[in-house]
Amino acid sequence: MASFTTCSGRWHLIDQDPAPGPLPRPSLRLTGVFAAVVAIGLIVGWVVNSDDIAVAEVGSPAPDFTVPLIGGGTFTLSEQSGIVVINEWASWCTPCRKEIPEISAFADANPDVVVIGVAVEDTAEAATAFAGEVGATYQLAIGDTAFERSYPRFGLPVTYVVDANGVVVKLFNGLITKQKLEELVSS
């Protein structure tokens, strides 16, 4: 409440704190916009995942895929027999560059195991140039969106081991060595 006082014959307003009133009401419009954005996100996620794409999980059948090989031809998982090692890599991935000689050494020492490296999150041009630089002794391919959705990762590199029955038996995230591959395949 305000009051007045006089000083030298003039009236002056003296400010006083007004009595506290109710807090301002939150904006319902902002809450409505937030709820709409969340609902749209959920609907888009449901539509994108509604095609029931199989996802590689340890203990489950490995989702089949066909990818183009760098240098020509294709690789289809269901056409392979025996153990298959699937390594995901990218041309920009420094650990991937470091592990390729290790995977090559494993592939050379284990010709009965099918080894395939699949480029993900990469362009075909960059992956092909990278493949020419690193000299892998196993097959390298370029993954597509369907492959990337079926074989998810939290980072690169990542390696899946599929047994002779077509079941994902191991998943290893990170830089892999020949010794680690030997352990994963033998166990």
Domains of the chain: 66-186 (3.40.30.10)
Percent pLDDT > 70 in the chain is 73
Q: What is the rounded CA–CA span in Å between residue 167 and residue 139?
A: 21
C-alpha 159 chain-centroid distance: 13
Q: Does 14 have pLDDT greater than 60?
A: no
pLDDT for residue 53: 85
Instruction: Say if pTM beats, i.e. exceeds, 0.75.
Output: no
Q: Does 183 have pLDDT greater than 70?
A: yes
User: Residue range 12-22: average pLDDT?
Assistant: 60
pLDDT for residue 50: 47
Q: Does 169 have pLDDT greater than 50?
A: yes
Mean of the per-residue pLDDT values for the chain?
A: 86
* Amino acid occupying residue 179: Q
The beta strands (E) that lie in the chain are given as: 3-7, 10-14, 66-68, 74-76, 84-89, 114-119, 139-142, 158-162, 168-173
* DSSP code, position 62: P
pLDDT for residue 79: 97
pLDDT for residue 187: 81
